[in-house]
Chains A and B, each alone.
Chain A
Amino acid sequence: MTTAENTMAPARGTPAGRARMADLVVAEWIKFRSLRSTTVTLAVLVAVYLYLAYRGAQDGYQVWQSMPRQLRPAFDPVHGVFGGPTWMLAMIVAGAVGAMTVTGEHSTGLIRATFTAAPARRKVAAAKCAVTAATMTVPGAVIAAGSYAINEAVLAGYHISIPVSGADTARLILSTTLVTPLCALAGMALGAVIRNTPATIVAVCVLFVFTPFALKSASTRWAVDAANAMPFSFFSRLAVAGNAHLVGGVESLTAAWTALAVWLAASAVIVISVMGWRDA
Protein backbone atom coordinates (compact mmCIF):
# COMPACT_ATOMS: atom_id res chain seq x y z
CA MET A 1 0.00 0.00 0.00
CA THR A 2 1.77 3.06 1.15
CA THR A 3 5.45 3.49 0.86
CA ALA A 4 6.13 5.24 4.07
CA GLU A 5 9.89 5.32 3.72
CA ASN A 6 10.39 7.69 0.86
CA THR A 7 7.51 10.05 1.38
CA MET A 8 8.66 12.17 4.22
CA ALA A 9 12.00 13.10 2.83
CA PRO A 10 12.39 16.79 3.38
CA ALA A 11 11.13 18.75 0.44
CA ARG A 12 13.93 20.52 -1.29
CA GLY A 13 13.42 23.31 -3.67
CA THR A 14 13.68 27.02 -3.34
CA PRO A 15 14.30 28.23 0.19
CA ALA A 16 11.07 28.27 2.12
CA GLY A 17 10.56 31.88 2.78
CA ARG A 18 8.35 34.23 0.96
CA ALA A 19 6.10 32.93 -1.71
CA ARG A 20 7.79 34.24 -4.80
CA MET A 21 5.61 36.10 -7.23
CA ALA A 22 7.01 34.11 -10.15
CA ASP A 23 6.05 30.83 -8.47
CA LEU A 24 2.53 32.06 -7.79
CA VAL A 25 2.16 33.19 -11.40
CA VAL A 26 3.24 29.78 -12.68
CA ALA A 27 0.85 28.12 -10.21
CA GLU A 28 -2.05 30.21 -11.50
CA TRP A 29 -1.03 29.40 -15.06
CA ILE A 30 -1.11 25.68 -14.24
CA LYS A 31 -4.63 26.15 -12.88
CA PHE A 32 -5.78 28.13 -15.90
CA ARG A 33 -4.48 25.74 -18.51
CA SER A 34 -5.55 22.58 -16.68
CA LEU A 35 -9.26 23.30 -17.13
CA ARG A 36 -10.17 21.91 -20.51
CA SER A 37 -13.47 23.78 -20.59
CA THR A 38 -11.64 27.11 -20.60
CA THR A 39 -9.44 26.14 -23.53
CA VAL A 40 -12.41 24.81 -25.49
CA THR A 41 -14.44 27.95 -24.78
CA LEU A 42 -11.66 30.21 -26.00
CA ALA A 43 -11.01 28.11 -29.10
CA VAL A 44 -14.71 28.25 -30.00
CA LEU A 45 -14.72 31.99 -29.36
CA VAL A 46 -11.84 32.51 -31.78
CA ALA A 47 -13.45 30.31 -34.45
CA VAL A 48 -16.81 32.08 -34.13
CA TYR A 49 -15.25 35.52 -34.41
CA LEU A 50 -13.15 34.65 -37.44
CA TYR A 51 -16.35 33.44 -39.10
CA LEU A 52 -18.16 36.61 -38.01
CA ALA A 53 -15.32 38.64 -39.52
CA TYR A 54 -15.87 36.86 -42.83
CA ARG A 55 -19.61 37.57 -42.66
CA GLY A 56 -18.98 41.14 -41.52
CA ALA A 57 -16.68 41.75 -44.46
CA GLN A 58 -19.41 40.52 -46.82
CA ASP A 59 -21.84 42.90 -45.14
CA GLY A 60 -19.31 45.70 -45.53
CA TYR A 61 -19.15 44.98 -49.23
CA GLN A 62 -22.97 45.15 -49.45
CA VAL A 63 -22.91 48.53 -47.77
CA TRP A 64 -20.23 49.74 -50.14
CA GLN A 65 -22.24 48.52 -53.13
CA SER A 66 -25.38 50.30 -52.00
CA MET A 67 -23.55 53.59 -51.45
CA PRO A 68 -23.84 56.36 -54.02
CA ARG A 69 -20.62 56.53 -55.99
CA GLN A 70 -19.60 59.96 -54.71
CA LEU A 71 -19.88 58.79 -51.09
CA ARG A 72 -17.79 55.69 -51.55
CA PRO A 73 -14.45 57.33 -50.66
CA ALA A 74 -15.94 57.93 -47.18
CA PHE A 75 -16.67 54.23 -46.71
CA ASP A 76 -15.13 52.85 -43.51
CA PRO A 77 -13.61 49.60 -44.75
CA VAL A 78 -13.44 48.06 -41.29
CA HIS A 79 -16.90 49.00 -40.14
CA GLY A 80 -18.53 45.75 -41.11
CA VAL A 81 -16.13 43.80 -38.91
CA PHE A 82 -15.01 45.95 -36.00
CA GLY A 83 -16.74 47.80 -33.21
CA GLY A 84 -20.30 46.62 -33.70
CA PRO A 85 -22.71 45.00 -31.28
CA THR A 86 -21.50 41.51 -32.30
CA TRP A 87 -18.51 42.20 -30.02
CA MET A 88 -20.80 42.09 -27.01
CA LEU A 89 -20.81 38.31 -27.19
CA ALA A 90 -17.02 38.25 -26.96
CA MET A 91 -17.22 40.65 -24.04
CA ILE A 92 -19.65 38.41 -22.19
CA VAL A 93 -17.67 35.24 -22.87
CA ALA A 94 -14.41 36.87 -21.78
CA GLY A 95 -16.12 38.30 -18.70
CA ALA A 96 -17.51 34.88 -17.81
CA VAL A 97 -14.15 33.14 -18.28
CA GLY A 98 -12.49 35.75 -16.06
CA ALA A 99 -15.26 35.56 -13.48
CA MET A 100 -14.96 31.79 -13.25
CA THR A 101 -11.26 31.94 -12.44
CA VAL A 102 -12.43 33.52 -9.18
CA THR A 103 -15.92 32.12 -8.56
CA GLY A 104 -14.69 28.63 -9.52
CA GLU A 105 -12.39 28.75 -6.51
CA HIS A 106 -15.04 30.05 -4.15
CA SER A 107 -17.86 27.76 -5.21
CA THR A 108 -15.72 24.61 -5.00
CA GLY A 109 -13.91 25.59 -1.80
CA LEU A 110 -10.61 25.41 -3.67
CA ILE A 111 -9.92 28.93 -2.43
CA ARG A 112 -9.24 27.47 1.02
CA ALA A 113 -6.61 25.12 -0.38
CA THR A 114 -5.17 27.98 -2.40
CA PHE A 115 -4.84 30.36 0.53
CA THR A 116 -3.59 27.64 2.87
CA ALA A 117 -0.83 26.94 0.39
CA ALA A 118 -0.13 30.61 -0.21
CA PRO A 119 -1.24 32.78 2.70
CA ALA A 120 -0.10 35.98 0.96
CA ARG A 121 -3.51 36.56 -0.52
CA ARG A 122 -2.86 39.79 -2.36
CA LYS A 123 0.05 38.20 -4.15
CA VAL A 124 -2.14 35.26 -5.14
CA ALA A 125 -4.83 37.63 -6.40
CA ALA A 126 -2.27 39.69 -8.31
CA ALA A 127 -0.83 36.53 -9.88
CA LYS A 128 -4.33 35.47 -10.88
CA CYS A 129 -4.98 38.87 -12.50
CA ALA A 130 -1.66 38.74 -14.35
CA VAL A 131 -2.24 35.23 -15.67
CA THR A 132 -5.84 35.84 -16.70
CA ALA A 133 -5.03 39.14 -18.40
CA ALA A 134 -1.99 37.77 -20.21
CA THR A 135 -3.70 34.57 -21.29
CA MET A 136 -6.85 36.29 -22.48
CA THR A 137 -4.75 38.62 -24.60
CA VAL A 138 -3.89 35.68 -26.85
CA PRO A 139 -7.41 34.94 -28.17
CA GLY A 140 -7.94 38.71 -28.34
CA ALA A 141 -4.88 39.15 -30.54
CA VAL A 142 -5.78 36.20 -32.77
CA ILE A 143 -9.31 37.50 -33.20
CA ALA A 144 -8.16 41.09 -33.86
CA ALA A 145 -5.39 40.31 -36.34
CA GLY A 146 -7.36 37.49 -37.95
CA SER A 147 -10.47 39.63 -38.39
CA TYR A 148 -8.42 42.40 -39.93
CA ALA A 149 -6.75 40.05 -42.38
CA ILE A 150 -10.01 38.34 -43.32
CA ASN A 151 -11.72 41.68 -43.90
CA GLU A 152 -8.89 42.90 -46.10
CA ALA A 153 -8.84 39.68 -48.09
CA VAL A 154 -12.60 39.69 -48.66
CA LEU A 155 -12.69 43.35 -49.75
CA ALA A 156 -9.66 42.83 -51.95
CA GLY A 157 -11.54 39.98 -53.57
CA TYR A 158 -14.16 42.55 -54.58
CA HIS A 159 -11.40 44.89 -55.79
CA ILE A 160 -12.18 47.41 -53.08
CA SER A 161 -9.07 49.07 -51.81
CA ILE A 162 -9.51 51.92 -49.39
CA PRO A 163 -6.30 52.60 -47.55
CA VAL A 164 -6.34 52.55 -43.76
CA SER A 165 -3.52 54.44 -42.11
CA GLY A 166 -0.93 52.59 -40.07
CA ALA A 167 -2.02 54.41 -36.91
CA ASP A 168 -5.64 53.41 -37.48
CA THR A 169 -4.68 49.82 -38.10
CA ALA A 170 -2.54 49.69 -34.97
CA ARG A 171 -5.30 51.24 -32.82
CA LEU A 172 -7.91 48.95 -34.30
CA ILE A 173 -5.93 45.80 -33.63
CA LEU A 174 -4.63 46.88 -30.23
CA SER A 175 -8.03 47.94 -28.89
CA THR A 176 -9.73 44.81 -30.21
CA THR A 177 -6.97 42.68 -28.71
CA LEU A 178 -7.62 44.30 -25.34
CA VAL A 179 -11.37 43.58 -25.35
CA THR A 180 -10.90 40.05 -23.99
CA PRO A 181 -8.37 40.73 -21.19
CA LEU A 182 -10.23 43.85 -20.06
CA CYS A 183 -13.56 42.10 -19.91
CA ALA A 184 -11.98 39.10 -18.19
CA LEU A 185 -10.50 41.32 -15.49
CA ALA A 186 -13.81 43.13 -15.02
CA GLY A 187 -15.48 39.72 -14.74
CA MET A 188 -12.90 38.73 -12.10
CA ALA A 189 -13.70 41.88 -10.13
CA LEU A 190 -17.41 41.06 -10.20
CA GLY A 191 -16.59 37.47 -9.27
CA ALA A 192 -14.46 38.55 -6.32
CA VAL A 193 -17.31 40.65 -4.99
CA ILE A 194 -20.24 38.33 -5.78
CA ARG A 195 -18.49 34.92 -5.56
CA ASN A 196 -21.49 33.01 -6.87
CA THR A 197 -20.97 31.91 -10.49
CA PRO A 198 -24.48 32.31 -11.99
CA ALA A 199 -25.06 35.64 -10.27
CA THR A 200 -21.69 36.90 -11.46
CA ILE A 201 -22.43 35.95 -15.05
CA VAL A 202 -25.75 37.77 -14.88
CA ALA A 203 -23.86 40.79 -13.55
CA VAL A 204 -21.39 40.52 -16.44
CA CYS A 205 -24.25 40.61 -18.93
CA VAL A 206 -25.90 43.55 -17.21
CA LEU A 207 -22.66 45.49 -17.03
CA PHE A 208 -21.49 44.88 -20.59
CA VAL A 209 -24.76 44.82 -22.52
CA PHE A 210 -27.61 46.36 -20.61
CA THR A 211 -25.88 49.26 -18.86
CA PRO A 212 -24.45 51.14 -21.87
CA PHE A 213 -27.82 51.26 -23.61
CA ALA A 214 -29.85 51.91 -20.49
CA LEU A 215 -27.64 54.82 -19.53
CA LYS A 216 -27.48 56.21 -23.03
CA SER A 217 -31.24 56.50 -23.24
CA ALA A 218 -31.24 58.58 -20.08
CA SER A 219 -31.13 62.30 -20.60
CA THR A 220 -28.93 63.48 -17.75
CA ARG A 221 -25.37 64.47 -18.47
CA TRP A 222 -23.82 62.10 -15.94
CA ALA A 223 -25.73 59.14 -17.34
CA VAL A 224 -24.42 59.85 -20.82
CA ASP A 225 -20.91 60.22 -19.42
CA ALA A 226 -21.30 56.94 -17.60
CA ALA A 227 -22.58 55.27 -20.76
CA ASN A 228 -19.54 56.55 -22.65
CA ALA A 229 -17.29 55.13 -19.95
CA MET A 230 -18.68 51.61 -20.51
CA PRO A 231 -16.40 49.17 -22.33
CA PHE A 232 -18.69 48.72 -25.31
CA SER A 233 -18.82 52.47 -25.86
CA PHE A 234 -15.10 53.13 -25.79
CA PHE A 235 -14.25 50.03 -27.78
CA SER A 236 -16.69 51.19 -30.44
CA ARG A 237 -14.89 54.52 -30.49
CA LEU A 238 -11.44 52.97 -30.76
CA ALA A 239 -12.21 50.30 -33.32
CA VAL A 240 -12.91 52.55 -36.30
CA ALA A 241 -10.84 53.71 -39.21
CA GLY A 242 -10.13 57.38 -39.60
CA ASN A 243 -12.77 58.21 -42.18
CA ALA A 244 -15.62 56.77 -40.13
CA HIS A 245 -18.60 58.91 -39.31
CA LEU A 246 -19.17 58.98 -35.61
CA VAL A 247 -22.59 59.44 -34.18
CA GLY A 248 -22.44 60.66 -30.60
CA GLY A 249 -20.48 58.48 -28.22
CA VAL A 250 -17.09 58.98 -26.70
CA GLU A 251 -15.68 62.42 -27.30
CA SER A 252 -12.11 61.62 -28.20
CA LEU A 253 -9.65 58.82 -28.64
CA THR A 254 -7.82 60.07 -25.57
CA ALA A 255 -10.98 59.78 -23.50
CA ALA A 256 -11.52 56.27 -24.83
CA TRP A 257 -7.97 55.13 -24.05
CA THR A 258 -8.22 56.70 -20.60
CA ALA A 259 -11.45 54.88 -19.85
CA LEU A 260 -9.85 51.62 -20.99
CA ALA A 261 -6.84 52.12 -18.72
CA VAL A 262 -9.06 53.02 -15.77
CA TRP A 263 -11.14 49.89 -16.25
CA LEU A 264 -8.05 47.68 -16.36
CA ALA A 265 -6.53 49.22 -13.26
CA ALA A 266 -9.75 49.45 -11.26
CA SER A 267 -10.64 45.83 -11.99
CA ALA A 268 -7.24 44.60 -10.82
CA VAL A 269 -7.40 46.76 -7.69
CA ILE A 270 -10.86 45.41 -6.82
CA VAL A 271 -9.78 41.79 -7.29
CA ILE A 272 -6.62 42.19 -5.22
CA SER A 273 -8.18 44.15 -2.37
CA VAL A 274 -11.39 42.12 -2.07
CA MET A 275 -9.63 38.75 -2.22
CA GLY A 276 -7.05 40.01 0.24
CA TRP A 277 -9.55 41.28 2.72
CA ARG A 278 -12.63 39.08 2.90
CA ASP A 279 -12.89 35.81 4.82
CA ALA A 280 -12.28 32.92 2.46
Chain B
Amino acid sequence: MVTSTLREAPPPAGLLPQAEPGSRKPDSDPMPRSRAPGSLKHMIEVNHLTKTFGRLHAVRDLTFRVQPGKVTGFLGPNGSGKSTTLRLILGLNTPTSGTATLGGRQFRDLGAGLRHAGALLDAGDIHPGRSGHAHLWALARGNGLPRRRVDEVLAETGLTDAARRRAGTYSLGMRQRLGIAAALLGDPPVLLFDEPLNGLDPEGVRWIRTLLRRLAAEGRTVFVSSHLMSEMSHTADHLIVLGRGELIADEPLQDFAARSATGELEDAFMEVTATSTQYGTGGAR
Protein backbone atom coordinates (compact mmCIF):
# COMPACT_ATOMS: atom_id res chain seq x y z
CA MET B 1 0.00 0.00 0.00
CA VAL B 2 0.93 3.61 0.15
CA THR B 3 3.25 5.48 2.45
CA SER B 4 4.18 2.28 4.16
CA THR B 5 7.61 3.67 4.93
CA LEU B 6 6.05 6.15 7.30
CA ARG B 7 4.06 3.61 9.17
CA GLU B 8 5.12 2.70 12.62
CA ALA B 9 4.20 -0.61 14.05
CA PRO B 10 1.40 0.23 16.43
CA PRO B 11 2.25 -0.50 20.03
CA PRO B 12 0.30 -3.21 21.74
CA ALA B 13 -2.83 -1.77 23.11
CA GLY B 14 -5.38 -2.36 25.74
CA LEU B 15 -2.83 -3.50 28.30
CA LEU B 16 -3.45 -0.74 30.71
CA PRO B 17 -6.02 -1.19 33.42
CA GLN B 18 -8.85 1.11 32.55
CA ALA B 19 -11.09 2.90 34.93
CA GLU B 20 -14.68 1.82 35.04
CA PRO B 21 -16.66 3.66 32.41
CA GLY B 22 -18.17 6.71 33.89
CA SER B 23 -16.08 6.67 37.02
CA ARG B 24 -15.16 10.12 38.21
CA LYS B 25 -11.84 10.73 39.78
CA PRO B 26 -10.58 14.03 41.04
CA ASP B 27 -8.04 15.65 38.83
CA SER B 28 -5.24 14.80 41.19
CA ASP B 29 -3.25 12.72 38.75
CA PRO B 30 -2.27 15.09 36.00
CA MET B 31 -1.16 12.57 33.47
CA PRO B 32 1.23 14.65 31.40
CA ARG B 33 3.62 14.75 34.31
CA SER B 34 4.69 11.21 33.60
CA ARG B 35 3.76 11.28 29.99
CA ALA B 36 5.83 10.42 27.07
CA PRO B 37 3.61 10.83 24.04
CA GLY B 38 2.35 7.46 23.05
CA SER B 39 1.86 6.14 26.48
CA LEU B 40 -0.92 3.61 26.34
CA LYS B 41 -2.98 5.65 28.72
CA HIS B 42 -4.16 7.87 25.97
CA MET B 43 -6.52 5.67 24.13
CA ILE B 44 -9.94 7.01 23.24
CA GLU B 45 -12.59 4.61 24.47
CA VAL B 46 -16.22 4.88 23.50
CA ASN B 47 -18.62 2.57 25.29
CA HIS B 48 -22.25 2.11 24.27
CA LEU B 49 -22.43 5.78 23.44
CA THR B 50 -25.86 7.08 22.51
CA LYS B 51 -26.96 10.64 21.91
CA THR B 52 -30.44 11.73 20.95
CA PHE B 53 -31.57 15.23 20.07
CA GLY B 54 -35.28 15.13 20.65
CA ARG B 55 -36.43 12.20 18.54
CA LEU B 56 -33.31 12.12 16.39
CA HIS B 57 -30.78 9.43 17.20
CA ALA B 58 -27.50 11.16 16.36
CA VAL B 59 -25.43 8.19 17.48
CA ARG B 60 -26.67 4.88 18.77
CA ASP B 61 -24.82 2.43 20.99
CA LEU B 62 -21.35 3.15 19.63
CA THR B 63 -18.49 1.12 21.04
CA PHE B 64 -14.94 1.42 19.75
CA ARG B 65 -11.40 2.26 20.74
CA VAL B 66 -8.94 4.56 19.08
CA GLN B 67 -5.37 3.40 19.68
CA PRO B 68 -2.25 5.50 20.06
CA GLY B 69 0.53 5.37 17.52
CA LYS B 70 -1.75 5.20 14.51
CA VAL B 71 -3.81 7.50 12.39
CA THR B 72 -7.38 6.36 12.75
CA GLY B 73 -9.70 7.58 10.05
CA PHE B 74 -13.28 8.37 11.01
CA LEU B 75 -15.56 7.92 8.04
CA GLY B 76 -19.23 8.12 7.36
CA PRO B 77 -21.68 9.90 5.10
CA ASN B 78 -22.99 13.36 5.99
CA GLY B 79 -25.14 13.25 9.07
CA SER B 80 -23.85 9.87 10.18
CA GLY B 81 -22.86 11.21 13.60
CA LYS B 82 -19.11 11.77 13.25
CA SER B 83 -19.08 15.33 14.55
CA THR B 84 -21.49 14.46 17.34
CA THR B 85 -19.21 11.61 18.39
CA LEU B 86 -16.20 13.93 18.48
CA ARG B 87 -18.15 16.43 20.57
CA LEU B 88 -19.23 13.72 22.96
CA ILE B 89 -15.61 12.57 23.35
CA LEU B 90 -14.66 16.17 24.17
CA GLY B 91 -17.49 16.58 26.66
CA LEU B 92 -19.07 19.38 24.66
CA ASN B 93 -22.29 17.42 24.52
CA THR B 94 -23.56 15.18 27.27
CA PRO B 95 -24.28 11.60 26.17
CA THR B 96 -27.83 10.36 26.53
CA SER B 97 -26.26 7.10 27.68
CA GLY B 98 -22.87 5.43 27.54
CA THR B 99 -19.46 6.96 28.03
CA ALA B 100 -16.54 8.36 26.10
CA THR B 101 -13.19 8.53 27.84
CA LEU B 102 -9.63 9.60 27.19
CA GLY B 103 -7.10 7.54 29.07
CA GLY B 104 -9.95 6.18 31.15
CA ARG B 105 -11.26 9.55 32.22
CA GLN B 106 -14.10 11.66 30.97
CA PHE B 107 -12.83 14.78 29.28
CA ARG B 108 -14.91 17.10 31.43
CA ASP B 109 -13.10 15.83 34.50
CA LEU B 110 -9.75 16.88 33.13
CA GLY B 111 -8.33 20.25 34.05
CA ALA B 112 -6.07 21.75 31.44
CA GLY B 113 -7.79 20.32 28.39
CA LEU B 114 -5.18 21.32 25.83
CA ARG B 115 -2.58 19.12 27.50
CA HIS B 116 -4.83 16.08 27.26
CA ALA B 117 -6.36 16.48 23.83
CA GLY B 118 -6.13 18.88 20.95
CA ALA B 119 -9.07 19.25 18.64
CA LEU B 120 -10.02 20.94 15.43
CA LEU B 121 -13.77 20.65 15.19
CA ASP B 122 -14.65 23.47 12.82
CA ALA B 123 -12.36 26.01 11.24
CA GLY B 124 -14.96 28.65 12.04
CA ASP B 125 -14.66 28.20 15.79
CA ILE B 126 -12.91 31.53 16.28
CA HIS B 127 -14.09 35.07 16.92
CA PRO B 128 -13.60 37.06 13.70
CA GLY B 129 -12.70 40.20 15.63
CA ARG B 130 -9.75 38.68 17.42
CA SER B 131 -6.28 38.17 15.94
CA GLY B 132 -4.96 34.66 15.49
CA HIS B 133 -2.31 35.39 18.08
CA ALA B 134 -4.80 36.65 20.68
CA HIS B 135 -7.04 33.64 20.05
CA LEU B 136 -4.20 31.20 20.68
CA TRP B 137 -2.75 33.18 23.55
CA ALA B 138 -6.06 33.19 25.43
CA LEU B 139 -6.39 29.42 25.01
CA ALA B 140 -2.77 28.81 26.00
CA ARG B 141 -2.91 31.12 29.00
CA GLY B 142 -6.01 29.39 30.32
CA ASN B 143 -3.98 26.18 30.42
CA GLY B 144 -0.94 27.77 32.01
CA LEU B 145 1.07 27.33 28.82
CA PRO B 146 3.90 29.74 28.07
CA ARG B 147 3.64 32.36 25.36
CA ARG B 148 6.47 30.64 23.52
CA ARG B 149 4.06 27.84 22.59
CA VAL B 150 1.89 30.29 20.69
CA ASP B 151 4.80 31.39 18.53
CA GLU B 152 5.83 27.79 18.02
CA VAL B 153 2.47 26.56 16.80
CA LEU B 154 2.08 29.67 14.63
CA ALA B 155 5.40 28.82 12.99
CA GLU B 156 4.41 25.17 12.67
CA THR B 157 1.19 26.07 10.88
CA GLY B 158 2.74 28.80 8.75
CA LEU B 159 0.67 31.60 10.27
CA THR B 160 3.41 33.71 11.79
CA ASP B 161 2.98 36.54 9.29
CA ALA B 162 -0.80 36.61 9.65
CA ALA B 163 -0.85 36.22 13.42
CA ARG B 164 -1.58 39.87 14.23
CA ARG B 165 -4.40 40.21 11.72
CA ARG B 166 -8.02 39.77 12.72
CA ALA B 167 -9.12 36.19 12.14
CA GLY B 168 -12.12 37.48 10.21
CA THR B 169 -9.75 38.36 7.37
CA TYR B 170 -8.36 34.82 7.13
CA SER B 171 -9.15 32.49 4.26
CA LEU B 172 -10.77 29.15 5.06
CA GLY B 173 -7.41 27.45 4.73
CA MET B 174 -5.84 29.88 7.20
CA ARG B 175 -8.65 29.39 9.67
CA GLN B 176 -8.14 25.66 9.30
CA ARG B 177 -4.45 26.14 10.09
CA LEU B 178 -5.33 28.31 13.07
CA GLY B 179 -7.60 25.55 14.38
CA ILE B 180 -4.79 23.04 13.98
CA ALA B 181 -2.42 25.44 15.73
CA ALA B 182 -4.82 25.54 18.68
CA ALA B 183 -4.98 21.74 18.74
CA LEU B 184 -1.19 21.52 18.92
CA LEU B 185 -0.77 24.16 21.67
CA GLY B 186 -0.69 21.82 24.62
CA ASP B 187 1.47 19.18 22.95
CA PRO B 188 -1.33 16.70 23.65
CA PRO B 189 -1.18 12.90 23.46
CA VAL B 190 -4.57 12.77 21.73
CA LEU B 191 -5.61 14.72 18.65
CA LEU B 192 -9.03 14.89 17.05
CA PHE B 193 -9.52 16.54 13.70
CA ASP B 194 -12.88 16.99 11.99
CA GLU B 195 -12.37 17.48 8.25
CA PRO B 196 -8.95 19.13 8.61
CA LEU B 197 -8.44 19.25 4.85
CA ASN B 198 -11.34 21.60 4.11
CA GLY B 199 -10.16 24.65 2.26
CA LEU B 200 -6.49 23.71 2.18
CA ASP B 201 -4.38 24.13 -0.93
CA PRO B 202 -2.36 21.18 -2.27
CA GLU B 203 0.61 22.21 -0.21
CA GLY B 204 -1.63 22.36 2.85
CA VAL B 205 -3.06 18.92 2.12
CA ARG B 206 0.42 17.47 1.90
CA TRP B 207 1.41 19.28 5.07
CA ILE B 208 -1.57 17.79 6.96
CA ARG B 209 -0.75 14.34 5.68
CA THR B 210 2.82 14.65 6.90
CA LEU B 211 1.69 16.17 10.18
CA LEU B 212 -0.82 13.42 10.92
CA ARG B 213 1.74 10.73 10.10
CA ARG B 214 4.31 12.39 12.30
CA LEU B 215 1.94 12.87 15.24
CA ALA B 216 1.07 9.17 15.07
CA ALA B 217 4.71 8.17 14.68
CA GLU B 218 5.42 10.10 17.88
CA GLY B 219 3.02 7.72 19.56
CA ARG B 220 0.02 10.00 19.79
CA THR B 221 -3.57 8.98 19.27
CA VAL B 222 -4.73 10.62 16.05
CA PHE B 223 -8.42 10.47 15.15
CA VAL B 224 -9.38 12.26 11.97
CA SER B 225 -12.60 12.48 10.02
CA SER B 226 -12.62 13.19 6.31
CA HIS B 227 -14.70 12.73 3.22
CA LEU B 228 -11.65 12.61 0.99
CA MET B 229 -11.18 8.89 0.48
CA SER B 230 -8.02 9.17 -1.56
CA GLU B 231 -6.44 11.26 1.17
CA MET B 232 -7.57 8.84 3.84
CA SER B 233 -6.12 5.92 1.94
CA HIS B 234 -2.79 7.77 1.99
CA THR B 235 -2.92 8.66 5.63
CA ALA B 236 -4.95 6.33 7.83
CA ASP B 237 -3.88 3.02 9.31
CA HIS B 238 -7.18 2.08 10.81
CA LEU B 239 -10.79 3.06 10.15
CA ILE B 240 -13.88 3.62 12.21
CA VAL B 241 -16.88 3.87 9.90
CA LEU B 242 -20.30 5.13 10.90
CA GLY B 243 -23.59 4.91 9.06
CA ARG B 244 -26.71 6.56 10.44
CA GLY B 245 -25.20 6.91 13.85
CA GLU B 246 -24.17 3.29 14.16
CA LEU B 247 -20.80 1.62 13.92
CA ILE B 248 -20.47 -0.29 10.68
CA ALA B 249 -16.75 -0.96 10.56
CA ASP B 250 -13.77 -0.90 12.93
CA GLU B 251 -10.83 -2.47 11.19
CA PRO B 252 -7.47 -1.81 9.54
CA LEU B 253 -7.70 0.26 6.38
CA GLN B 254 -6.44 -2.56 4.19
CA ASP B 255 -9.10 -4.96 5.46
CA PHE B 256 -11.80 -2.40 4.87
CA ALA B 257 -10.62 -1.57 1.37
CA ALA B 258 -10.49 -5.30 0.59
CA ARG B 259 -14.25 -5.47 1.13
CA SER B 260 -14.56 -4.10 -2.38
CA ALA B 261 -13.61 -6.19 -5.37
CA THR B 262 -11.44 -3.33 -6.59
CA GLY B 263 -9.57 -3.00 -3.30
CA GLU B 264 -10.15 0.74 -3.40
CA LEU B 265 -11.16 2.51 -0.21
CA GLU B 266 -13.70 4.69 -1.97
CA ASP B 267 -15.48 1.71 -3.55
CA ALA B 268 -15.54 -0.15 -0.27
CA PHE B 269 -16.90 2.93 1.50
CA MET B 270 -19.69 3.41 -1.04
CA GLU B 271 -20.70 -0.22 -0.86
CA VAL B 272 -20.67 -0.47 2.91
CA THR B 273 -22.43 2.81 3.62
CA ALA B 274 -25.04 2.16 0.92
CA THR B 275 -25.95 -1.03 2.73
CA SER B 276 -26.13 0.71 6.05
CA THR B 277 -28.31 3.42 4.64
CA GLN B 278 -30.75 0.87 3.31
CA TYR B 279 -31.03 -0.82 6.65
CA GLY B 280 -31.25 2.50 8.41
CA THR B 281 -34.13 3.84 6.40
CA GLY B 282 -36.02 0.60 6.27
CA GLY B 283 -35.55 0.05 2.58
CA ALA B 284 -35.73 3.57 1.25
CA ARG B 285 -34.05 3.96 -2.11
Contact = CB atoms under 8 A, between A and B. Distances in A.
Nearest to A32: B138
Interface residues of B, number: 64
Given A11-B145, A18-B112, A24-B142, A35 B129 contact: yes
A110 B33 contact: no
A280 interface: yes
A74 B113 CA distance: 62
Interface string A111-133: 01111111111001000000000
A267 B185 CA distance: 33
Interface in B179-213: 179, 182, 184-187, 203, 207, 210-211
A116 B207 contact: no
B187 A8 contact: yes
Interface in B114-145: 114-117, 119, 121-122, 124-131, 134-135, 137-139, 141-145
Interface string A1-45: 111101111111111111110011011101100111100000000
Nearest to B36: A10
A108 B143 contact: no
Interface in B203-262: 203, 207, 210-211, 214, 218
Interface stretch (B39-47, B102-110, B265-273): B102-110
Contact of B138 (A10, A27, A115): A27
A104 interface: yes
Interface in A246-280: 279-280
A16 B152 contact: no
Contacts of B107: 119
Contacts of A1: 158, 203, 207
A168 interface: no
Contacts of A36: 129
B110 A119 contact: yes
A31 B130 contact: yes
B146 A17 contact: no
Given A2-B156, A3-B156, A11-B149, A121 B108 contact: yes
A interface bracket (residues with beta carbon within 8 Å of B): 35 or more
A208 to B, nearest CB: 25
A7 B152 contact: yes
A105 interface: yes
Given A19-B142, A116-B121, A35 B113 contact: no
B13 interface: no
Given A16-B112, A18-B112, A119-B113, A279 B143 contact: no
A186 to B, nearest CB: 22
Contacts of A119: 90-91, 107-111, 113
Given A1-B158, A113-B139, A116-B119, A35 B127 contact: yes
Given A4-B156, A109-B124, 7 more contacts: A7-B156, A13-B145, A15-B33, A16-B115, A27-B141, A113-B125, A119-B107
Interface of A: 1-4, 6-20, 23-24, 26-28, 30-31, 34-37, 104-105, 108-110, 112-121, 124, 279-280
Q: Which 5 A-B pairs have the closest CB atoms?
A: A27-B142, A17-B30, A14-B144, A34-B134, A18-B111
Interface of B: 27-28, 30-33, 87, 90-94, 107-117, 119, 121-122, 124-131, 134-135, 137-139, 141-146, 149, 152-153, 155-158, 179, 182, 184-187, 203, 207, 210-211, 214, 218
